[in-house]
Each structure stands twice: as C-alpha cells, then as structure tokens.
Amino acid sequence: MLAPMTTGLDPFKAEVVRWMRAHAPAALLGARRGAFDGYWGGRRATPSEDERVWMERCLERGWTAPGWPTQYGGGGLAPDQAEAVSQAMAELGLPPPLVGFGLAMIGPTLLDHGDEAQRARHLPSIVDGSIRWCQGYSEPEAGSDLASLRTRAEMDDDGDWRVSGQKVWTSHADASDWIFCLVRTLDDDQAPKQAGITFLLLDLSQEGVSTRPIELISGSSPFCEVFFDDARARADDVVGAVHGGWAIAKALLGYERTMIGAAMGGATDSAEADLVAFARAQLGAPKGPLPEASLRHDIASNAMAEAALRLTIERVRQSREAGGAPGPESSILKLVGSELKQRRHELAVRAAGPQGLGWEGPGFDEEELLRTREWLRSRANTIEGGTSEIQLGIIARRVLGLPKPSGQRG
Amino acid sequence: MSPLRLLPDEDERLLADTARPFFADRSPVGLVRELRGDPLGFPRELWGEVAELGLAGLALPEAHGGGGMGMRALCQVFEAAGRTLSPAPLHATLLPALLLTECGDEAQKGAWLPALCEGRAILGLAHSERGARYERLHVETMARTDAGSDGFVLEGDKVQVEAGPAADAFVVTARMQGDARQRQGVSAFLIPANEEGLEVRAQTRIDGRSSALLRLRGVRASRGAMIGPPGALADPLDRVLDLGAIAVAAEMLGGARAALELTLDHLKTRVQFGVVIGAFQALQHRAARLFAATELAASAVAAAAAHCDGDDPSDVPRMASLAKARAERAFLDVAKEGVQMFGGVGVTDEYDIGLYLKRAQAASATLGDEAWHTRRWANLTGY
C-alpha cells in the first residue's frame, strides 16, 4: 500500500524532470553529493564550466530559489511545487545549482522580516549568485551565550552605523562579500542584554574589515575571524527595529536548523557501505563477517541509528507536506545527526588502528589520511550550529515543557 | 517509487483514537498488579471486549472473520496496548494465527481463525525452547512418524509459551529431521490443550505476562494436524517472527512514550532544594535524550510496518530488526532512567514506573534483543 504523498503534482514534477534531463550538463547527472554541496557564488567565485551553465539555466527559470517571488528572480512556485523541483534534482543526482547562506538563511529572513527596499536591494544578487553571504554571530566571549556579544555599532552624523569589534567561527568569511551580523547598540546597563542587539547587513569589501582563517585540529578550515575597525553599514541595512535584532536573530536560527537538518539527510545507505569497505580493507577481510566482532557490532548499531534518523527526517517532511508544522520530532535532527556522523568517523579511525594516526607524508595512503582528518573535523559537528548541550536544552524546554534551569538567565 | 507512508492515514488514526481510550479505561497500568497469582494472566472479559472491537483479528483475512487491515493499523493497536502495559494476549495469539493464515489448510483455518477473531478461542505458539536463546530455528522437540497410523508422535519441552495457561490449542513446532538449528526439517502441528501426554504449567515472569511451560511426552498428532508441507516451515516461520517482532516493537514504543510522560510529570512536580527537579540541567539533558531515542524508535516502527504493507516485502527482515532494536533502546533506556529519576519511590512496587521497567526487559528479550538484531542487520547487509 504505497500511497502517493502528493496528488496533482506528478505531471508538474514529470515536466521538471524532463526539463532537467534535457538541460543539465551531462557530467552533473549523478554527481550530486549532498543538499549543500554545490556552487556557492560570490564575487570571488571560480565555478567550473558545468557549474556555471547549470546555475544560469536554472536561473532563467527562477530555480536557484524556486519558492521565492518572481520579482526578485525566484521561481514563484507554491511550496509543494518548489519541493518537487528540489526532489527532482535529488532523484536525478544533480547538485543544487546554487547554495549558500544567502539562499538558506538571510534570504528567508528578509522575506519574512525585511522591508521591501531591503528585499529589492539584496535578494536578486542572492538569487543570481553574484553576492555570497556569511553569518556574523559568535564572538570570543559569546558562544552558546550568544546574547553576551560585544561588537559595538554607533550611529554617525549621517545616520549610518560605525561598527567595531570581532566575530569568530564565521564560515567562509574570506570568500564572502556581505555579512549579516548581530551588533550591540545598547550597553548592558541600559537594557537587558537581549534588548540591546541590532541585526545589521554589512559590505565586507571596505577598509575597516579584515578576515583571518582559523586553523583547526584537523588542519585548515572554512572558519574565520572577522575584525571590524570603524567599519560602515548603511542606516537602511538594519533588519527589524534598532535594538530589536534578537527576535530576527532567533528567526534566522530557525532557518539554520532547517538547513542543518536537511544536510543531515545526506548520510545515506552509502555511508554505511563506504565505512564497511574501508574496514574490510583495513582488516584484510574482503568478504564474510567482519572479523572484529565488537567493531562490526558498533558499525551496524550506528548505521541502524542513522537509518532511523533518515526515516525521522522523512517523517518530518511528510508531516510538513501534510500541511502541519513540523512535529516535535524535528527538534532532534541536529543533535542526533551530528552525534551519529561523529561516531561514524570514529569507527573509521578505530578500524584503521595505527594506520589512522597519519597527519601527512609517506606510510599512509590518501584515504587513511582523509579519514583521520574527517574524524578530527567531525569533533566540531556537535559544537557548531548550536552545541549538543544547547540542542538538549531546547528539546527539554520547548518540547518536553521543563522549566528554565535555576540560575540561567536568557 | 513514492516514499513509504510513515504517517497514519484516516482509518489508522481512527483506530488509534478507539484503542487508546479503550486500553486506558479497560486495561489500566495497575491491572498488572491486580492479576498477580491469576491462573490465566489476563481477564477473559477484557479479551472478549478486545474481540468485540474487532482488534483480536484485526490483521487476519476478512474471509475468516478478521479485519483485513495492514501492519500499520495493527501497530497502532499494539502501541495503544503498550502504553498501559495491557496483558491482553494480542501478541500471543497473533503469531499462531499468522502462521495458520499463511500455511494452514482451509479446514484448520475454518476451525480456529473465526473463533479466534471472535474471542471464543485462544491459540498459543509453542516454539521457544530452553537452549534456543534467540535462535529462531532452534527446535529440539521431535515429531516421529507414528507406527500405528499416518500421524506423528511429539516429544519435547517448550518454554515461556505466551498465553499458555489460557490457550485452547497450541501451534507446536517440532523437528522431523536434522540437528537443532538446521533450517530443513521443521514442521508445526495443531495440538489441543487437553491432548493426552501434554502437560501445561503456568510460569511466573517479572512482567506478569501469561506464560507456560509445555511438556510433550508421546503426544499424538494426526496427519490433519500438521500445518503446511512437512519439514519446510523455516521460511514462513521467519516471516511470522518478523511480523511478531515489529508488533512487539510497536508495543514497546507505546510503553516508552507512556513511561516518558510519567517521568516528565514527576520531573515537573517533585520539589527538592526548593525547585522542581525538572529545572536541573543534568536531568533535562537526559530527558531530552530519552525523547530523541523514542522518536527514532517511532520512525523505525512506522517504516517497518510500512514495508510490510508495501509491494516489496524483501526488506522486511532488516526493517524488523531495525524496529525491534531501536524500540529496545528507547523503552529500556526510558524505563531505567525513569526509575532513577523517580528516586527511592521508583524502586517501590507501589509506583508504576517499575512495572514499565519489568515489561521493557521482558519485551526486549522477546524475539531477539538489540544485540541479536544488530548482528542480524550486519548479516543481512552483507558484513
């Protein structure tokens, strides 16, 4: 009894699939790696010819942002049709034509909370990939406790804003053109700390802004520090009210969770098969049951949990499609997805044993080196995008209805 | 291929809306305590009411008096029953009924299935043996040809036969040839409970579920009592045990959800150090993890049931193992953590959370525990 989940969409989706087969560069069919593996755009981007062609062809139909209004360059599609476009790409194994924090985070935020002038000024350059955005939230003294941020913005004589301070963990800041960031416009003694924050859009290509990449335990990383030294932002680039940025910031975090949740769906059956193949090679066991019984058990156990997570993502999708808001189960996706991914990388290094100790150079093959770097990188999965502890707190309070812990403000 | 439907449809939702208040009202958690020492292990009238609602034969063919509904529907009922730890022999009767449905001849089905659906008769599956642990085809009970007739003589011992003390007849597995765990040679026979040479002794388990030891000594079975082709029951038995595992998983999901709700109520009302203990972050984080485990189990159970209802049953074994393993992770963890969070009263017989713990352990050890199903997953996936 395989009931179709959508009625009346099939002819539309069939037409989308036909068009994609005809217009996608042949080399991209089947080349999809994940929902967020694709062309990121921006002034400094150097897309491959196939990426450029695929992006431009989709752009003509508004399919870099299928659900956004046509006046900003979007496809103007209803949510179920926009979903059908994404599904068609996934089913054909096509990478998304354009990805990034513009499409996934600041764009939806401006659509819901920006004013018309802001939408008209910023959305078209997101849709056509000409401007790449990054997210300026965390600071050295404001991690999980984000509202403790200290980067200051003061209004100058022209009514514009002058920004000084530092952001950290800003993904891809060195490859981005604009930043959406949280700045302090009222001091703690003037207002509760959440009530003195403003949500500001800022051009990175100006004097007074510098970026520096951060080296991680896994080596180089997309993370940067961003320094503002009297940098300028336009008065009309405040989203929401001045001092009223916290509400916008939280709305954007909702879009971020959705994005991370969708990216979690990337752990497919092939992740289990890849890990097993690597373990077989490392253990010298080309077939039959894996000889290390406890490793075999742990690989299966983790793969089963990942299968259950994939099914949970599908359940969330179906309840959203059925017209409801996503149920409480959606709150577990980031927590569970990041932990299972981490454990999968751990199992690879465990399978490699001493061969999993290589950093670079002779004596270690390429896959061994990569698996070890991935393992180290994966330690950040439970920290970035809201730590596991923050996620657990959100589930406890918003889903389970437990009270705010004693002694915790904010 | 359209994705499997993981949400209940209108009929299934309606069924859940009927089953939940029914079990809450007619089979509340405390019933387990009241039934201690009861020879049957469940009230006959409860089973009659279950049958009246059409739940006793919900997934059996309409031609034999059943409801003709699918596994998703059945799982709604098991989840509802699991919430209140209902001792109604839903699972006990499901397994022999499914085996009869799949392998029985018309005479056997006609004799037992309508009576079972109407609640007039109870069948038990006499399959587990002491040395089997979770090995599905471990059968030492022997069926030898009877020199004086075209029938058989059964010799052996069965353990923890669900609803055994109440059963009118048993589907008894026995081996016609081969060693204990061989796939070939396993048959099944319909044996009335009062058959000569059959001794049924009630067993007492931690979860209070109706259960019996069966001792078979020279029990005669006619040719007409044999279910399916001789010695070839391994495949259908495997399939039925998979469906049984999914049903238990659904029951465990209900138990996990109810035990989590019970624990959350306690966290929100119990005051220590001047605050409700649910305000302590250490407990909040553990409660959130229990919620996550429960949701993963819910998805696994829904998917396993959906595979059973679908056109392609080839992945049912893997999905059954997934559902059963994840259900154990949820129910047993919730129950253990629940007892800990209740504190001292959690280990008293007066509080219900301990009843959930006992059932969680018993259900985990039914039809394969998490470790067993994890090994099976690796086997079936090819490593």
| pLDDT, tens digit, 9 for 90 and up, residues B330-371 | 999 999 999 999 999 999 999 999 999 999 999 999 999 999
Same domain as A269, residue A225: no
Same domain as A395, residue A280: yes
Q: Which of A256, A272, A306, A339 is catalytic?
A: A256
Q: How far apart are the first and last CA of chain B?
A: 27
Same domain as A149, residue A190: yes
Indicate if the pLDDT at residue A314 is higher than 80. yes
Q: Within the 301-330 window of chain B, which residues sit less than 8 Å (CB to CB) from chain A?
A: 302-303, 309-311, 321-322, 325-326
Same domain as A390, residue A270: yes
Same domain as A279, residue A236: no
Tell whether A113 is covered by a domain.
no
Same domain as A85, residue A186: no
Among the three residues A99, A125, A146, which one is the final residue of a domain in this structure? A99
Provide the pLDDT confidence category of residue A407 given band limits of 50, 70 and 90: low
| Tokens linked to A20 | 């994609």
Same domain as A273, residue A226: no
| Interface with chain B: mutation pick from A145, A309, A390, A400, highest number of B CBs within 10 Å | A400
Tell whether A256 is covered by a domain.
no
3-class SS at A137? coil
User: Residue B2 in contact with residue B60, Cβ under 8 Å?
Assistant: no
Residue A306's closest chain B neighbor by CA? B296
Task: Say how many C-beta atoms besides its own lie within 10 A of residue A51's C-beta.
Answer: 21
Q: Which CATH class is domain B235-381?
A: mainly alpha
* B270 touching chain A per CB within 8 A: no
Q: How far apart are CA B305 and CA B375, in angstroms?
A: 21
Same domain as A381, residue A270: yes
Given CA atoms A365, A367, A372, A376 in this order, what sign does their dihedral have?
A: positive
Which among A2, A319, A389 is the nearest to B285, CB-wise? A389
Candidate from A31-40, A309-318, A319-328, B297-306 with smallest mean pLDDT? A319-328
Q: Over chain A, what is the mean pLDDT? A: 91
pTM reported for the whole predicted model: 0.90
CATH of the domain at A334: 1.20.140.10
> Tens of pLDDT along B276-299?
999 999 999 999 999 999 999 999
Indicate if the pLDDT at residue A326 is higher than 70. no
| Tokens linked to A19 | 């068009």
- Quote the ipTM score: 0.96
CATH of the domain at A202: 2.40.110.10
Same domain as A281, residue A382: yes
Tell whether A154 is covered by a domain.
yes
User: Residue B304 in contact with residue B322, Cβ under 8 Å?
Assistant: yes
Tell whether A358 is covered by a domain.
yes
Q: How far apart are CA A164 and CA A200, in angstroms?
A: 13
How many helices (H) does chain B have, and how many strands (E)? 11, 10
Q: Which CATH number fits domain B10-117: 1.10.760.10, 2.60.40.10, 1.10.150.120, 1.10.540.10?
A: 1.10.540.10
Same domain as A142, residue A58: no
pLDDT value at position A164? 98
Query: B200 vs A327, which has greater pLDDT?
Result: B200
Same domain as A233, residue A204: yes
Q: How many domains does chain A have?
A: 3
Candidate from A62-76, A116-130, A153-167, A325-339 with smallest mean pLDDT? A325-339
Domain enclosing residue A52, as ranges: 11-99
φ, ψ for residue A181 (rounded to 5)?
Answer: -140, 160
Mean pLDDT of A335-359: 96
Q: What percent of chain A has pLDDT over 70?
A: 93
CATH code for the part of the protein at B123-231: 2.40.110.10
Residue with the two structure tokens 């890990």: A275
* Residue B216 DSSP symbol: E
| Interface with chain A: mutation pick from B13, B272, B295, B318, highest number of A CBs within 10 Å | B295
Tell whether A120 is covered by a domain.
no
Tell whether A168 is covered by a domain.
yes
User: A339-351 burial, b if ≥16 CB within 10 A, otherwise e?
Assistant: bbbbbbbbbbbbb
Residue with the two structure tokens 């000024």: A121
Cβ within 8 Å, pair A2-B310: yes
Q: Where are the domains of chain B?
A: 10-117, 123-231, 235-381
Same domain as A228, residue A185: yes
Tell whether A30 is covered by a domain.
yes
